[in-house]
Chain A
Amino acid sequence: MATTSGISVSARPKYESVIGLEVHVQLLTATKIFCSCSTHFGDPPNTNVCPVCLGLPGALPVLNRKAVEFAVLAAMSLNCRINETSIFARKNYFYPDLPKGYQVSQYDKPLSEHGFIEIKTAGGAKKIGITRLHLEEDAGKSLHEGFADSSETTGIDLNRSGMPLIEIVSEPDIASPEEAYEYLTRLKEIILYTGVSDCNMEEGSLRCDANISVRPRGQKELGTKTEVKNVNSFRFIREALEYEIERHIGIIDSGGKITQETRLYNSSEGKTYGMRSKEQAHDYRYFPEPDLLPLVVDAKWQKEIRDALPELPEARRKRIVAAYGITEQDAQVLTLTKALADQFEAAAKAARSPKRVANLVQSELMGRLKAKGLDIEQSPISMNGVAASADLVESGAISGKMLKDLYDLAFERGKDFAVIYEEEGRPEQSRDTSALEKIIDEIIAANPKQVDQYRAGKRTVVGFFVGQVMKASKGQANPQLVNELLARKLG
């Protein structure tokens, strides 16, 4: 990653950074927030539109009840307090892809406030405050490229206009780019668990803007902030923030002043650039949206929504550790997504050793998925497959080596474990004691020194023999059987 200068490296300990994040999450409703147009992604431009989301003269918004429920669910999952009455407001600005000339959002009375997310930092657990979570509509999209006349004209696609969004604004509690990354990871994980969004950054269903300022350590007042916009991955946000901190320190340390501005991150250069100042002199002239009534989410409705709140990742991890006797790290991996956790739990419950299922997922499955660039949902081996394989190892029917080979075949052929196991003729590790006895006899004969040690009472040397036998049998031998035979022949 590029840095601005060398000066700041030595100056860095004198300063601390303060970061706040604004995250927009698109809700997975079937229809838009104020009309009945489809929210389907990727349809031809301007096909999912109607008078309302086109902002035609005379059209009026009608709030989508599902969008409210999803927003409340998200707010509850982030420990926010729900405001029984919230008010929609118009945010006025001109832009070609904003068809009404204002965005319907919420301003001084948002849907919910005062939440938090707990993150892990080097110094232990830390709560990052959430100032507010509110509902709003998305704007359309300006298409600057991809058409024959793109050099002279800009196209407007209003399919996205009126998509339901929640905006989640954090407190300036985030102290480092690393914490920002951790906050976003936890936030995404929680939202995914609630099922209200797919949080797909490529499709724009999760977007993040970051506010960053730097001040001398110990100073109370915040430094002048800059806002970094349009960053399309968590990794880039971390990089952009690291770049900005270096840049701020470089300027402040050499006696300069930070200009409050919006900056865009160029990920290929690893640098941020200021937008032209003309584009940021905004007075949004917020006022209550007269076309919508105040939104009332009363206690009864809140309870209905709360009852639908699923178990959240942190709680689930704790429960999984206790229930399946697995490590925190294992639980972390297995609860990465709700789907994975659900599948794991179903499989583990069915398996003889839940712990072995967890180990196999981590040691054998995840690595192979990563190598192939697959999501857990795309895995050729299902959780049931993992459970079945775990049982086969557990019973001694197959060895660890055999399992690895079967997993490789499953990934090669794109088939589930059970299918491969059948295709390979239900292989079993050797139980033929005569062949194994022959190998053991040879190894005992070839290693008289170790035999003497064993017989002199140094029982740990048995490990050496087991290793030799497994090596000679190319991993096919049943370890339990090897141990039995060795004990008999050495003893």
Chain B
Amino acid sequence: MNLDLLTVDAARSAVQERKTSATALAESFYAKIESDDPKIGAFLTLSKERAMAKAAQMDALAAKGENLPPLGGVPVGIKDVMVTKGVRTTAGSKILGNYVPPYDCTAVAWLEAAGAVVLGKLNCDEFAMGSSNENSAWKLVHNPRDLTRVPGGSSGGSAAAVASDMAVAALGSDTGGSIRQPASFCGVIGMVPTYGRVSRYGLIAFASSLDHIGPLTKTVKDAAIVLRTIAGRDPMDSTSADVPVPDYVAELEKPVRGLRIGVAKEYLGEGLDKEVRSAIEAAIQKLAKQGCEIVDVSLPHTRYAIPTYYIVATAEASSNLARFDGVRYGYRAKDARTLSEMYRRSRDQGFGAEVKRRIMLGTYALSAGYYDAYYLKAQRVRTLLTRDFEEAFNKVDAIAAPVSPTAAFKLGEKVDDPLAMYLADIYTVTADLAGIPGISVPCGETKNKLPIGLQILGRHFDESTILRVAQASEKAVTSGKGECP
């Protein structure tokens, strides 16, 4: 079977109609991973036993002529920050190098319950901290569109695996743009749902109030199918919301005509690459052609988003990562003579430079005497940023924006300049801070054939609208006609 551009529905139908088996499909994917992944670097751990068991289960259902669940037999990959029972989970870190969790992340469990075949765990920046995947303790991920370039991060392995057809779909996590930016760099769909929409249970925490799990897929419809599967109230996560989950796939059928799309000048100003800007503007024009009304909006506090984000995120991270102390699991330094020596050495040797940098920043921000000036102030600005969006959404149904100021940059280009790397998160951190949903959908290419992503942001719990807008944009690009779907 040709795995190129294989979608969720196509894969499921092939198994359902017994054109292939889930087992054969999984085997084809593993063969492709074996041949292609050495030059990409997307997978960290393969879960063949688990995948083949699920595939066999789906084949048995299909053989009996029973209806397969929505993801029946569909091969997927999971970012290595989601725990998987019995399958090594490292979060891209040496400190969890040999860690095998005893339980499953809710989103993974629900995906598998819907028939998905989990091929393995995907590379990422260590503890999801990074925008290029270069902070993985294990290996680099190469952008499938240009192997000399980064795939984006932190869900770089997830985006690269989907972009290179080594998985039909993948789960990633987004704390400051970690799903949308790699999706944009690799030319796939990436979606961050509303905070509380998808359970965080089993997601190794980076910054609890900002962490989201979401899908990376080849089509908007696939994103809708995966989101429908993993969304909903989970009693194991107190912050998961008890808000009804619509049928996102059915919602895609609604027209976009008449929707008001906001364009914020703060997202199209200085620092935005010219090629990216013209692709975004062209994509917005295509939406207008389909009957969307384009409305100017203002998000005045955007310029404070980066410092706000890096205070809140690092503060929470400094606490979340305290548990990696070498006492109960994970890496423990050898030959420490005292307790504090064991702590210091285990963490010094176990964590990479970026993680240590963020722990230091966050510890500082929470320290006595600095808490009010940094953490508390950042939380207040966060409220202002959220209010910016609330006011904008009084006027519009969705906001169109770039995902990243540039297309994928060269591997190694920014590794020595963490600040430049942080600043490039400007268009994505705002949605995480406000807890609103966002999606990245390919809208064009640079002259070097690098993908450019259009970002659509929406109201809290209104994933349906941004999926619709994203699909309209997707159709305009793929058909080139800009007709109303």
Q: What is A's interface to B at a CB cutoff of 8 Å? A: 51, 54-63, 90, 92, 94, 96, 99-102, 156, 283, 285-287, 290-293
Contacts and interface: CB of A to CB of B under 8 A. Distances in A.
B239 A101 contact: no
Contact of B238 (A51, A54, A100, A292): A292
B323 A285 contact: no
Given A57-B323, A60-B201, A291-B208, A285 B343 contact: no
A57 B101 contact: yes
A101 B325 contact: yes
Contacts of B235: 62
Interface stretch (B59-67, B282-290, B362-370): B362-370
Interface stretch (B262-270, B314-322, B437-445, B464-472): B314-322
Contact of A293 (B101, B205, B236, B238): B238
Contacts of A96: 325, 327, 339
Given A57-B91, A60-B200, A285-B318, 14 more contacts: A54-B328, A58-B101, A58-B105, A59-B201, A61-B238, A96-B325, A100-B322, A283-B367, A285-B366, A285-B368, A286-B366, A287-B366, A290-B208, A291-B238
B200 A287 contact: no
9 contacts: A51-B101, A51-B102, A55-B323, A62-B236, A92-B319, A101-B323, A102-B319, A287-B316, A291-B239
Contact of B322 (A62, A94, A291): A94
B71 interface: no
Interface of B: 82-83, 89, 91, 96, 99, 101-103, 105, 200-205, 207-209, 235-239, 315-316, 318-319, 321-325, 327-329, 339, 343, 363, 366-368, 371, 375
Task: Give the top 9 A-B pairs by smallest Cβ distance, nearest first.
Answer: A101-B322, A290-B208, A285-B366, A290-B209, A58-B202, A57-B204, A58-B83, A283-B368, A100-B323
Given A92-B322, A101-B325, A56 B203 contact: no
A90 B207 CA distance: 14
Given A51-B102, A57-B89, A57-B204, A94 B319 contact: no
Nearest to A93: B322
B209 to A, nearest CB: 4
Nearest to B364: A285
Nearest to B343: A94
A416 to B, nearest CB: 49
Given A51-B102, A99-B323, A287-B315, A58 B82 contact: yes
Of A62, A92, A287, most B-chain CB atoms within 10 Å? A287
Label chain A's interface by main secondary structure: loop
A99 B329 CA distance: 10
Given A287-B366, A293-B238, A51 B103 contact: yes
A60 B207 CA distance: 13
B349 to A, nearest CB: 16
A102 B362 CA distance: 15
Contact of B203 (A51, A58, A90, A99): A58
A292 B363 CA distance: 21
A292 B202 CA distance: 15
A134 to B, nearest CB: 18
Contacts of A55: 323, 328
A100 B371 CA distance: 21
A9 B363 CA distance: 48
Contacts of A92: 318-319, 322, 366
Given A58-B203, A58-B204, A285-B367, A94 B238 contact: no
B381 to A, nearest CB: 16
Contacts of A94: 322, 325, 343
Contacts of A90: 319
B319 A60 contact: no
Contacts of B207: 290
Given A92-B366, A99-B323, A101-B319, A57 B99 contact: yes
Contact of B328 (A99, A285, A287, A290): A99
Nearest to A90: B319
Contacts of A293: 238-239
A51 B103 CA distance: 8
Contacts of A101: 319, 321-323, 325
